[in-house]
A = this chain, B = another copy of it.
Amino acid sequence: MDRKTLVNHIRQRRSCLCVGLDTDPSKIPAGLDVLTFNKAIIDATRDYCVAYKPNLAFYEVLGSKGWDILAKTVDYIGKEHFTIADAKRGDIGNTSGYYATTFFDTYGFDSVTVAPYMGKDSVEPFLQHDGKWAIVLALTSNAGAFDFETLTAEGKPVYAHVLEKCSQWGTPNNTMYVVGATRAELLAEIRKVVPNHFLLVPGVGAQGGSLEDVMRHGMNDDIGLLINASRSILYASSGPDFAEAAAAEARSMQQAMAQFIS
């Protein structure tokens, strides 16, 4: 999906919500399988979001059948939503190339999250597919973000080096960055470095970030945000009304976003 189409979806639905499909078999209602649950969540939230983000760990742990469930989930999402393989891949060039092929061609995702530690040749293979995106980890929402990402290196934090260098390798049309909502106070700073890029923002909801703060500090002229919620939507209810509860939670987030999207 190209940037223009994504921005159109955001404006039409007045939403920049991304629903994270971190589907945990131990948390879904008894008797349901992962694919059936995913389909119900997708049907319930489709009108309120612009993106879906399956978290690969939750599918890989199921063995090869998890990958079949993943493929069927992506297929069920269809073409009207931006799809993110939250896989955090990154390796030497030829290997990253295989990961890009896997997620873009074999599974048809629009984007993959990419770990930047190994540098340029580990990121570039994700930038060479038309209409596809690398979403590079910059400043994440977890406690460990303060171990290496925020080290001061040559006058600025490591994550700022990541933003600057990756922005030389790619463009705002094929590169996004992960910036955690739990660091909303830094969003304004980050916007100075990457004013035009989309940011994928996890950490709203279960992890405690404020949606309003993220909208206020993170938006650009094209909105420029995909705000992810996973557990707060998927497990809004553990009962048979889980899909209605997920819809209500997604609608509530969409309505909060709509106040900022004219």
Residues of chain A at interface, number, CB under 8 A: 55
Indicate whether A249 reaches chain B with its CB closer than 8 angstroms: no
Say yes or no for A118: interface residue by CB 8 A criterion: yes
User: A115: which B residues are within 8 A, CB to CB?
Assistant: 88, 90, 115, 117-118
The stretch that binds B, out of A6-14, A58-66, A193-201, is A58-66
Assembly of this chain: how many copies?
2
Q: How far, in angstroms, from A115 to B116 measured CA to CA in the complex?
A: 9
In the bound complex, residues from chain B placing their C-beta under 8 Å from that of A98 are 57-58, 60-61
A164 to B30 CA separation, bound complex (whole angstroms): 45
A154 to B148, CA, bound (A): 11
**B residues near A122, Cβ cutoff 8 Å:** 142, 144
A146 at the interface (CB under 8 A from B): yes
Residues of B within 8 A of A141 (CB): 92
- Quick check: which of A43-51, A74-82, A99-107, A240-248 contacts chain B, the rest being far away? A99-107
Q: Are B145 and A119 in contact (CB-based, < 8 A)?
A: yes
CB neighbours (8 Å) of A188 from chain B are none
With a CB–CB cut-off of 8 A, which chain B residues contact A99?
57, 60-61
Min CB distance, A56 to chain B, in Å?
Answer: 9
CA distance A96 to B115 in the complex (A): 14
Task: Indicate if the CB atoms of A90 and B92 lie closer than 8 Å.
Answer: no
A55 within 8 A of B: yes
Known: A93-B142, A154-B151. A63 touches B57 (CB 8 A): no
A binding-site residues for B, Cβ under 8 Å: 22, 55, 57-58, 60-61, 63-68, 71, 86, 88-93, 95-96, 98-99, 101-102, 106, 115-123, 137, 140-149, 151-154, 158, 161-162, 165
Q: What are 20 A-B contacts with C-beta separation under 8 Å?
A: A57-B96, A57-B98, A60-B99, A61-B98, A86-B91, A88-B91, A88-B115, A115-B118, A117-B117, A117-B140, A117-B148, A118-B142, A120-B147, A121-B142, A121-B143, A121-B144, A122-B144, A147-B161, A151-B153, A153-B154
